[in-house]
Copies of this chain bind each other. A is one copy, B any other.
Amino acid sequence: MPVGIDDVARAAGVSTATVSRALRGLPDVRESTRLRVEQAAVQLGYAPTPSAVSLASGRTRTIGLLTPWVSRWFHSNVIEGACQALRVAGFDALLYSFQLDDDAAREPINLDVLRRRVDGLLVVGMTMTPTEVHLLETLGVPLVYVGSGPPDQVRVHVDDTVTARRATEHLLALGHTRIGHIGGYRTQPTAWATEICRAQGYRDALRAAGVPEDPALVSYGRFERAGGRSGAVEIFDRVDDVTAVVADSDEMAFGVLDVLRERGVRVPEDVSVIGIDGHELGDLIGLTTLAQDAHELGATAVGLVLEMITGTPVVRDVVCATELLERGSTRPI
């Protein structure tokens, strides 16, 4: 039943080596031979055994997707975009999702699982410590960071600093000065982390506008809705003159809206809220946001790894655009 390369060879009256060459489109195969081989292959329904190909060639035609979650907006969209691009290219997607339980500790990534399994790796939406980055490099395969990554690595992302700055400027332009900020994580694994850059953007905007910073206006929400909720509670319990909030992700912004609604605070009449991401459901609730195209990021990243695998020089830093979507949750003070 399982038809192998020598079945094809026999049927086509050539050697297995020739079958291998012919089917992979290598040069130095007479066109008539190639045709004969291809016909035999199709007729017998031959498909190479992946593990045999990998073992013999050292290539797996598989790209790993390293991600802390798959159900979050950013990650699921990047993964979907990447998957589709990989499928088109004839590559497989190996999904490595691991629970990122809390702020501080996370299970060490077991690289043995990746080793010799993938031709390349996409690191999707996660901040890695320099040690982890170094470890990943020992895999010896092309790496592309999606969402954020070390400056000296190949990456696809939006300009987090500029994006957060634009979000804050949008509120400043509306006359707000007491602007709360819900960041990602308080701890700072590395300088290039999304949360660091966005926090920087927030501060840059305030400074440029001559508005004093106030630590009481800042809290952290781990990029998730529940965190946005607790972060909002923190700020509103501490300060009572906040008129606007910028959340570093739409999911956290949803949490802010939760709290505001529970407290009977109207949006945008009493408080303006702006998020970052462009979550599809943001417009249902009327959340103004700075949108990025996560799907596109994933597809672009795949393009990059594949280029790196074939050795073609690539752009090392793809910065994608964000777009302000005004959907009603912000207004002049």
CB-CB contacts below 8 Å: A205-250 with B = 225
Contact of A70 among B79, B94, B112 (CB under 8 A): B79
* A285 CB contacts on chain B under 8 angstroms: 284-285
Which residue on chain B has the smallest CB distance to residue A75?
B76
CB-CB contacts below 8 Å: A31-82 with B = 47, 49-52, 54-55, 60, 62, 65, 69-71, 73, 76-77, 79-80
Q: Are B60 and A70 in contact (CB under 8 A)?
A: no
Q: Are B83 and A47 in contact (CB under 8 A)?
A: no
* A99 CB contacts on chain B under 8 angstroms: 84
Q: Most chain-B Cβ atoms within 10 A of its Cβ — which of A51, A79, A83, A112?
A: A51
Q: How far is the CA of A27 from the CA of B49 in the complex (A)?
A: 30
Distance of A24 from chain B, by nearest CB (Å): 15
- Select the stretch in A5-13, A113-121, A196-204 that faces chain B: A113-121
Q: Are A49 and B116 in contact (CB under 8 A)?
A: yes
Q: Are B47 and A51 in contact (CB under 8 A)?
A: no
Q: How far is the CA of A117 from the CA of B92 in the complex (A)?
A: 10
User: How many A residues are at the interface, by size bracket?
Assistant: 35 or more
Q: Is A281 interfacial (CB 8 A cutoff)?
A: yes
Distance of A42 from chain B, by nearest CB (Å): 11
* A84 CB contacts on chain B under 8 angstroms: 97-99
Number of this chain's copies in the assembly equals: 2
Q: How far is the CA of A312 from the CA of B49 in the complex (A)?
A: 27
Q: Is A93 interfacial (CB 8 A cutoff)?
A: yes
Contact of A55 among B52, B92, B280, B284 (CB under 8 A): B52
Q: Are B79 and A95 in contact (CB under 8 A)?
A: yes
* A76 CB contacts on chain B under 8 angstroms: 70-71, 76
Which residue on chain B has the smallest CB distance to residue A65?
B95
Q: Is A185 interfacial (CB 8 A cutoff)?
A: no
Contact of A254 among B51, B98, B281 (CB under 8 A): B281
Q: Are B280 and A112 in contact (CB under 8 A)?
A: no
Which residue on chain B has the smallest CB distance to residue A62?
B94
A-B contact pairs, 13 of them (CB 8 A): A50-B54, A50-B117, A51-B52, A52-B55, A70-B80, A76-B76, A83-B95, A84-B98, A92-B113, A93-B94, A225-B280, A257-B284, A284-B285
Interface on A for B, CB 8 Å cutoff? 47, 49-52, 54-55, 60, 62, 65, 69-71, 73, 76-77, 79-80, 83-84, 87, 92-99, 112-113, 115-117, 225, 254, 257-258, 280-281, 284-285, 295
Sorted nearest first, the 8 A-B pairs with minimum C-beta distance are A51-B54, A47-B112, A83-B97, A76-B76, A70-B80, A71-B76, A51-B55, A51-B51
